Amino acid sequence: MFKRHFFIIGAACLLGLMVVAAVFKIAFSDGGAGDGKGPRGPGAGRGQVVAEVVAQRREFADQIRVLGVARGRRSVNITSNTTQLVTQVMFADGQAVAAGTPLVELQAREEDADLIRTRAQLENAQREYDRYRILAERGVAPRVMAETAETALKTAQAGVAAAESRRGDRILRAPFAGVLGLTSVTPGTLISPGSVITTLDDISGVRVDFPLPERYLGVLPVGAPLTATTDAFPGEEFNGRIALLDTRVNEQTRAIIARAEFPNPGNRIRPGMMMRVAVHQGRRQSLAVPEAAVQYEGQGAFVYRIARGETGATAQRVEVQTGAVEGGYVEIVSGLANNDHIVASGLNRIQPGAPVSVEGEAAQRRAPTKGGARTTQAARP
């Protein structure tokens, strides 16, 4: 019995010692990882690998960027000035037409009858005038009768011209060369004044009106070059020029309306397209970093600069003022210096002041290699 109790007590003591040893092991392990006294440098813990880049000067275009809507060089709605039935449609949707091309013919029964009547009156007036002219030349009839017949002839001629004009109004023609739009009009359709039959646009060239701040009037004269882009053709630029400046500056916006003209080979730009216009003022050198290296917060922006010291490197959050964005790079107006080393990506995984290390830095000190991008490792907290 005594031996049995002794065995149970011994087993309990052994189990207790094992538990205490395990607790001490966990405690010392946690302390070593969390007191910051463990080994530092490459390989000290696992972290997120992020690219490192150097802030350097880069050429930027000095531009004014505004939005505008493309319009045809000339545009018009084809309408009628009277209420009448359509008897003939003489065009196809999307057809390119020359100036004066007949498009639609309206019913013209009254005009046709009036034209027949006035032409008959003209023939009669012509006969009367010829007869009295001959008689007056022979001295048989007074000259005043010939003059009266001549007046009647001119009146009849005017009547025919008016009737022909009214008849001609029943045929709607293209006022200029261009491309026709879609139509729902067919023979038998009753149209009224103001009803749009179709549209006509001269899109051999397009114009874009946009607001230009008044401070640029002295440096952007008529003829200044510009470019435009549109979502319909991503990545493609259209070259144009400032063709006209309005005569007045808007007192509320302090801007003037500028009109740009762009050639349009192939009629690719369509009226109504939204255009992003960039007016070029020149080019300048400025400090720049990749877009991915800049984090935006509220109304500001920041980057993580890599600061190296005796105890290692840390990621310092630096507030920056940004400028233009071009070609995947952001202009840094203030906050960084030339050749500053910054974290290029993974900014959301880094805490301000977090220790970082550059992979292979020790090896590079022993054997310098060619310049290039290095990677940094942010130590996890």
Contacts of 175 (CB under 8 A, 6+ apart): 76, 99, 200
Record the pTM.
0.56
Q: What pLDDT is recorded for position 16?
A: 64
**Burial of 153 from C-beta contacts in 10 A (0-12 / 13-18 / 19+):** buried
Q: What pLDDT is recorded for position 57?
A: 93
57 beta partners: 287
Whether 378 contacts 346, CB under 8 Å: yes
d(CA 192, CA 189): 10
Token pair belonging to 260: 């740009």
3-state secondary structure the chain: CHHHHHHHHHHHHHHHHHHHHHHHHHHHHHHHHHCCCCCCCCCCCCEEEEEEEECEEEEEEEEEEEEEEEEEEEEEEEECCCCEEEEEECCCCCCEECCCCEEEEECCHHHHHHHHHHHHHHHHHHHHHHHHHHHHHHCCCCHHHHHHHHHHHHHHHHHHHHHHHHHHCCEEECCCCEEECCCCCCCCCEECCCCEEEEEEEEEEEEEEEEEEHHHCCCCCCCCEEEEECCCCCCCCEEEEEEEEEEEECCCCCEEEEEEEEECHHHCCCCCCEEEEEEEEEEEEEEEEEHHHCEEECCEEEEEEEEEECCEEEEEEEEEEEEEEECCEEEEEECCCCCCEEECCCHHHCCCCCEEEECCHHHHHHCCCCCCCEEEEEECC
Q: What pLDDT is recorded for position 48?
A: 54
* Amino acid type, 271: P
**Burial of 149 from C-beta contacts in 10 A (0-12 / 13-18 / 19+):** buried
* Count of CB atoms situated within 10 Å of the CB of 361: 15
d(CA 145, CA 129): 9
* Count of CB atoms situated within 10 Å of the CB of 61: 14
Q: Which CATH architecture has domain 40-55+294-379?
A: Beta Barrel (2.40)
How would you write the pLDDT of the chain (381 residues) with one tens digit per residue?
A: 444 554 566 556 566 666 555 545 544 444 444 444 444 444 444 445 667 789 999 988 777 888 999 999 999 999 998 899 999 999 999 999 999 999 999 999 988 999 999 999 999 999 999 998 888 888 888 888 888 999 999 999 999 999 998 898 899 999 999 999 999 999 999 999 988 999 999 999 999 999 988 888 887 888 888 999 999 999 899 999 999 999 999 999 899 999 999 999 888 999 999 999 988 777 788 999 999 889 888 888 999 888 877 777 788 899 999 988 888 899 999 999 999 988 887 677 777 888 776 554 534 544 444 444 455 444 444
* Amino acid type, 296: Y
Q: What pLDDT is recorded for position 143?
A: 87
